[in-house]
Structure 1
C-alpha cells in the first residue's frame, strides 16, 4: 500500500536576524528547533513570521537587505526587507495581508503582546478585543435601527388603517340603506306623477315645455352639487395642509442647528486615523528593534559567560562587565544595553496606550458626526416639505376662491331656472312642480350615494390589500430585531467566549502541569465605570485571579505579581491560545510559533506542546537540547541553522 505524503513547508532565509542563509523544511505537526543560545533559533522563527506576513522581524546587522521565501500548499510567498537609514521597509507577497491576529495570538515569541500583557498585568480585554472592527459593527447597528424604525412606521400606519376599516364598513352600510330608501321614494314619486299626468288634460306643447324647464333645473342642481362637493374637498385639503404646515414649522423651530460641522469632524477623524497608522508603524518598528536586541542579548549570554571563565585572574580583578555593541561596534556596559531596552519597552507601552486612546476618540467622533449629519438631514427635509406645503396652500386657496365664485353663480342660475319653471301655469301644476322638484333632489341624492359607495368600496379594497402585507412587515421586523440583537451582543459574546476559553483551557493545563500549590487561575469579567473626557462610560474589564493552597490545605487568593516565572509564562501562553480560538485564527493561518520557554521545566514543556499541537496544523518551537530531550521522538527536529 502506498504511503500518502503529508504537506510540508519549505522556507529559504537570507540575512534575517543572525542568519546568513538557511533552508529548512517543516513537516505537518510539531517541529522542534534545538540548540544552545546563539544558534539562530529565534531568528528563524522571526524569518518564518516575516514570510507569513509579520513585520516583527529584523535584518542582519551587517546587511542592507534580506528575504524570505515560503513554499506552502502549492503556493510561493515572498518577503523582502530593505534597510533605509535607521528603519527597515517590508515588501513582497506574504501569506497574510494583515498580520494583526497572528502577531497577537499565533506568533508567541517572548515579546508577544498577549504573553507580555499577562506578565505585566495589562488590560487583557484590550488585547482580546483589538482585532474587532467595532466601527463596522456600529454602522450595521445604525442601519438596522433605521430599517426597523421605517418598518415600525409602516406597521403603525397599517394598524391605523385597520382601526379605520370598521368605520368605513359601517359608513358603507349606512350609505346602502340610504340608497335603498331613496330609490323607494323615487319609485313612489314616479307613480304619483303618473297618476297626476293621467288626470291632467293639457297640450303636448305645454307638457313638454314644463318637462324641459324641470330638466334645466335638475341639470343646474346637479352641476351645483358637483361644485359644492369639489369646494368641500378643497376646504378639507386646505385644513389638512395648514395642520401639516404647523407641524413642520414646529419641527424646524424646535430642532437646533448643530454647532459642529461634519466636514470639520471628518478632518479630525482623518487626522486621528493618520496618527493611528503612524503609531502602528512605530509600534511594529519598536517591536522589531526590541525583539532583535533581546535575541542578540540572549544569543550573546553564553559567549559573555565563556569569556569571563576564560579570562585571566588579572581580568577578573578589574570587575569588567562589558560587551561589544552589535550596532556601533564599541565596548559598552551590558547594564547600559539593558537600560536602553527598558526605555524602548516603556516607549512602546506608551504608544500602545496612546493608540487605544485614539481608537476611542475616533469612535466617539464618528458617532457624533453621524448624529450631526442625521440632524441636518431632518432639518433640511422639514424645510423642503414646508416650502412645498406653502406652495400647495396658495394653490388650494386660489382654487377655493374660484369654486366659491362658481357656486354663487350657479345658485343664481338655479333661482332663475326655478322661476321660469314655476311661471309655466303655476296654478295648475303646483303639486306636479313640487313632485318634480323632489324627484330632482332624489335623483341627485341617488347619484351621490352611488358615487360615495363606489369610493368606499375602492378605499376598503385598498386598505384590506395593504393590511394583508402587515404580517410580512412584522416578519421582516422580527428578523431585523434578531439581527440587531445579534449585532449588539456580538462584542459581548466575544468577551464572554474569550473568558470561557481561557478559564476552560487554564483549568485543563493546570491539571496537566500539576503545580503543587496552584489551585486555579481564572479571569473574571465585570463592568466598571470609567471617565472618558467629560463623561463616564461603562466598560468591561478582565480581572485575573489566582487561587493557591497553603501547606495546611487552606485556599487563598494571590496576585499575578506572586506567580513564579514558570507559572506566569504558562498563563500568558494559555491567554494567547484563548485569543487564537476565540478569533478563529486557525482559519486565517495554520501555524503556532513558540519561543522562550526556558522558565518552564522540560517535562511541563513537553505537556504544553502536546496540548497546543491539537489546535494548529503546524507548531514550531525553539528549545534548548535538555528541554527537547523530554519530547517524543516522532516530532521533527531541526538542530542547526546557519
Structure 2
C-alpha cells in the first residue's frame, strides 16, 4: 500500500516460527499497546513478526525451523508473509502491507538495532541517513530533462518573436502587391482597348490574326514554364546548400565525439566490471545479513539471561545451551563450556566491528558501482549519439546525391526551355516587317503585363499563405508561456527539494528535542540540537559541495555557566532519547505515518520508567498504533487504560 489507513478496529496478529516464537496469536488495539514481561518472553520476536507482516525483510526465522509465517489483519485488510530458509539465508514471500519497507525500517520500526536510533551514539552521518530514501540522481535527471524542455521552449518562443516581427513587413508587402496589380490591370485595360481599335482598323485575314495570337500565347506559356523551372532549380540549390551546411555541422560533432572517446572504455567492458562488483556486493550483503542475524541472536540471548535447559527442549533449545544463574559466568551456547560474560560481550563487540567494516566495504563497492554505472550510461549515450550522427550523415549523402541529380535535370530543362523561348521570340520578330507592327507591339505589351500580373498574383498567394501560417503558429505562444511557467515552478521545487527536506529534518529534530528535554527534565542539559552547514565531501572520484548535520550538546554548570559538550559524554539514557528523537524527525519529515500506521519500540531499559511513560505518550501522538516492549516495572508507570499484552 502507498497510503496508510487509519486503524479503527483491533489488529489481529498470528505468527509461527518468527524469532523465538513457536506459535502465537495476539490482539492489538489502536493507540498504545504495551508488551510487558521479563526477558526471554518473545516480546522482540513479536515485534519482528509485525515488521515481517508490514513488509520488512529484517526479521529472522526460529533457529530450528525451515519456514515460518505471520498474518496481520485490521479493518478490512488482511496481510500475510511467509519466511523460508534457503541456503543458510532467509527468503520472504506473500503479500505484505508495504511494497517498499525502507522508510518504515529506518524510521518506524525502532527496535534496538534500528539504524536511525543507533546513528547518534555511533557518530554516523546523520544527514546521509535522513536523505537516504531520497533518490538525488533521479531528481537531477528530472532537472536536466526539464532544463532541456525549457531551452526548447525558449528557442521556440524566440522563433515566434522573429515570426511576429516578420508579420508587419508581410502585410505591407501584400498591400503593395495589391496596388501594383491594380495599376497593371488598369494599364492592361488600356493596351487591350488599343488592340481592339487596331483590330478594327487593320484589315487582315482571320488566319493571320489567329497565327499572331497563337504565337504570343505560346510565348507567354513558355516564359511561365521557364520561370517555374528556374524557381524549382533555385529551391533545389537552396536545399542542397542547407544539407551541405548540416553535413558540416554533423561532421564537426562527430569529430568532437571521437576526440572525447577513450579507446579503452566501452559499455560492454564496463558492464563486466559492474557485474563483478555487484556479485561482490551480493556476497557482502549475504555476509552482512548473516552477521546481523548472529549479532541479533547473541544480543537477545545475552540480554535475556539465557535459556534453562531441561530434559525437554523449549523454543530456543535448538541453538542455545543453558546460561548459568550467576551474572559473571554463563554456559556458552555454541561450545557448552563456562565462560565469563565479559568474554562473550567482547566477542560480540568484535562481531559488531566486523559488521561495520563489512558495511563500509559494501558502501565503497556501491560507490564504485554507481560511478561505473554512470560512466556506462554516459558511454552508451555517446555511442547512441555517434550512431544517430552517422545515420543522419548517410541519409544526407543520399539526399545530396538526389538533389544533384534533380539539379542536373532542371538545368537541362531550363536550357531546353530557354531555347524554346528564343525560338518563339524569333517567331514574333518575323511579324515586325509586316504591316501589323503596331498590333504586334500592342500584343507584346499586353503579354508582358499579363505575365507581370500573374507573377504578382502568385507572390500575393504566397504572402497570404505565409501570413496565415505565421498567425496560426503565433497562437502557440500562450500555451508555450503557460508550459514554461510550469517548468520554472517544477525546477524551483526540484532544486530546493533536498534543501527543504534537510531544513525540515533539522527543524523537526530541534523542535522535538527541545520538547522532550523539557518533558523529561534531564539535569544540566540545556539543549541538544543539530546544525546544518555546508561542506566539501568526496563522492566516488569527485569532490562535491554537500551539507552536513552537526550534533551539539549544551550543558550548564552549577553556577549557570553554559558550555558545549560531546555526545559521547551523555548518559546512556540521554543517548537513547536523542536517537529516538532523531528517528522521530525522519518519521515526520518523510511522512512515514502516511505509509504505515504502526510504530514499534523496544529496548528502553536504559531510560527510567517515568521518562519511558512520558516518551511513549509523546510518540503515540504521531502513530495510530504504537507497540512498545517493556519490563513489568517500566510498564507500571504507564496509564492502565492502555492495551497490555502479557503473554506471547
TM-score clears 0.5:
yes
How far has the Cα of 1:187 moved from its partner? 2.2
Which one of the candidate residues 288, 293, 298 is aligned to 2:303?
298
2:433 corresponds, among 423, 426, 430, to: 426
Bigger drift between 466-475 and 414-423 goes to 414-423
2:13 alignment counterpart: 11
Partner of 2:339: 332
Provide structure 2 residue ranges, at least 5 long, that are not aligned to the other structure. Answer: 1-6, 309-321
- What do the CA deviations read for 1:578-601 (whole angstroms, capped 9, x no partner)? 111222222332222211212212
The answer to whether the aligner puts 1:623 opposite 2:630 as a matched pair is yes
**Paired residue secondary structure (2:644):** strand
The equivalent residue for 1:144 is 146
Task: Give the 3 Å change call, closer, same or farther, for CA 606–394 of structure 1 in structure 2.
Answer: same
Q: Using the TM superposition, name which of 193-202 and 233-242 deviates more.
A: 193-202
Match in the other structure for 1:210: 212
Greater mean alpha carbon deviation, residues 601-610 or residues 227-236: 227-236
How far apart, CA to CA, are the structure 2 residues paired with 1:552 and 1:47?
Answer: 51
Map 1:148-187 to 2 at 5 A.
148-187=150-189
Q: 1:552 corresponds to which residue?
A: 559
Q: Which moved more, 1:255-264 or 1:587-596?
A: 255-264
Q: CA deviation at 1:461?
A: 0.6
Rounded Cα–Cα distance in structure 1 between residues aligned with 2:417 and 2:628 = 103
Alignment partner, residue 639 of structure 1: 646
* Mapped contact 2:39–2:304 kept (Cα < 8 A): yes
Offset from partner CA, 1:320-363 (integer Å, 9 cap, x none): x4311123333233222112211221122223333433444444
* Residue pair 1:100, 1:131 contacting (<8 A) in 2 also: yes
Change (3 A) 1:77 1:197: closer
Alpha-carbon distance between aligned partners in 1 of 2:63 and 2:335, rounded to the nearest angstrom = 10
Match of 2:521 among 510, 514, 518: 514
Q: Given that residues 43 and 295 in structure 1 are in contact (C-alpha distance below 8 angstroms), is that contact kept between their aligned partners in structure 2?
A: no
* 2:405 aligns with one of 398, 403, 406: 398
Query: What is the Cα deviation at residue 296 of structure 1?
Result: 1.0
My pick for the range that moved more, 491-500 or 295-304, is 295-304
Query: Whole-Å Cα distance in 2 between the matches of residues 513 and 83 of structure 1?
Result: 44
* Cα distance in 1, alignment partners of residues 432 and 101 from structure 2: 108
Gap regions ≥5 residues in structure 1: 310-320
Cα distance between partner residues in 2 of 1:69 and 1:433: 108
State the alpha-carbon separation in 1 of the partners of residues 66 and 415 from structure 2: 101
Q: How does 1:103-114 map to 2 (within 5 A)?
A: 103-114=105-116
The CA distance in 2 between the partners of 1:416 and 1:68, in whole Å, is 102
Are residues 266 and 539 of structure 1, via their aligned partners in 2, closer, same or farther at CA, if it must alter by over 3 Å? farther
CA offset digits 1:506-552 (Å, max 9, x no partner): 11111111223211111122221122344211222111111222222
Q: Check if 1:286 corresponds to 2:288.
A: no
1:413 aligns with 2:430: no
TM-aligned CA distance change 1:144 to 1:270, over 3 Å: farther
Distance 2:68 2:216 in 1: 111
Q: Distance in 2 between matches of 1:330 and 1:57?
A: 29
Report what 1:491 is aligned to: 498
Q: What is the distance in 2 between the residues matched to 1:83 and 1:335?
A: 32
| Alpha-carbon distance in structure 2 between the residues aligned to 1:228 and 1:58 | 85
SS of the residue 2:553 aligns to: strand
In structure 1, distance between residues paired with 2:582 and 2:533: 18
Query: In 2 relative to 1, CA 422–94 (structure 1 residues): closer, same or farther, beyond 3 Å?
Result: closer
After superposition, the Cα gap between the structure-2 partners of 1:54 and 1:414, relative to the gap in structure 1 and judged at 3 Å, is closer
Could you report, residue by residue, the CA deviation over 1:104-160 in whole angstroms, capped at 9, with x for unpaired residues?
Answer: 212212211111111111111222122233454444444434444443443343333
* Partner SS state of residue 560, structure 2: coil
Alpha-carbon contact 1:525-1:543 (below 8 Å) kept: yes
Match of residue 196 from structure 2: 194
Secondary structure (helix, strand or coil) at the match of 1:352 reads helix
Deviation at 1:65, TM superposition (A): 5.1
Are 2:480 and 1:478 equivalent residues in the alignment? no
Distance, in Å, in 1 between the alignment partners of 2:173 and 2:484 is 33
Other-structure match for 2:574: 567
Say if 2:549 is the partner of 1:542: yes
User: How well do the aligned residues superpose, as a CA RMSD in angstroms?
Assistant: 3.0
**Cα offset, 1:75, TM superposition:** 4.5
CA deviation profile, 1:589-637 (whole Å, cap 9, x unmatched): 2222211212212211111011011111221222222222221111222
**Once structures 1 and 2 are overlaid, which stretch shifts more, 64-73 or 291-300?**
64-73
CA contact (8 A) 2:432 2:440 kept: no
Q: What SS does the corresponding residue of 1:255 show, helix, strand or coil?
A: helix
User: Hey, what's the Cα distance between the residues in 2 that align with 1:207 and 1:80?
Assistant: 107
Question: Retained in 1: the 8 A contact 2:89–2:286?
Answer: no
Asked if 2 retains the 8 angstrom alpha-carbon contact of 1:37 and 1:302, the reply is no
Change (3 A) 1:255 1:40: closer
**CA distance 1:540–1:482, change in 2 (3 Å):** same
Q: How far apart are the structure 2 equivalents of 1:234 and 1:79? A: 71
* Equivalent residue in structure 1 for 2:616, among 603, 609, 612: 609
What is the CA-CA distance between 1:176 and the residue it aligns to? 2.5
Instruction: String of CA shifts for 1:475-500, please: whole Å, max 9, x gaps.
Output: 22322333333333333332222222
| Residue of structure 2 in register with 1:227 after alignment | 229
The size of the alignment, in residue pairs, is 626
* Structure 2 residue 254 is matched with structure 1 residue 248: no
Counterpart for residue 316 of structure 1: none
Q: Is the 8 A contact 1:61 1:326 kept in 2?
A: no
Structure 2 distance, partners of 1:461, 1:286, is 74
Q: Which residue of 1 aligns with 2:52?
A: 50
Distance 2:91 2:420 in 1: 97
| Separation of aligned partners in 2, 1:405 and 1:89 | 80
> Is this contact kept in 2: 1:57–1:291, CA < 8 A?
no
| Cα 1:270–1:152 shift into 2, 3 Å | farther
- 1:455–1:517: structure 2 CA closer, same or farther, 3 Å change rule? same
Asked if the contact 1:169–1:460 (Cα under 8 Å) also holds between the matched residues in 2, the reply is: yes
How do 1:302-381 and structure 2 match up within 5 A? 307-308=325-326, 321-381=328-388
Structure 1 residue aligned with 2:508: 501
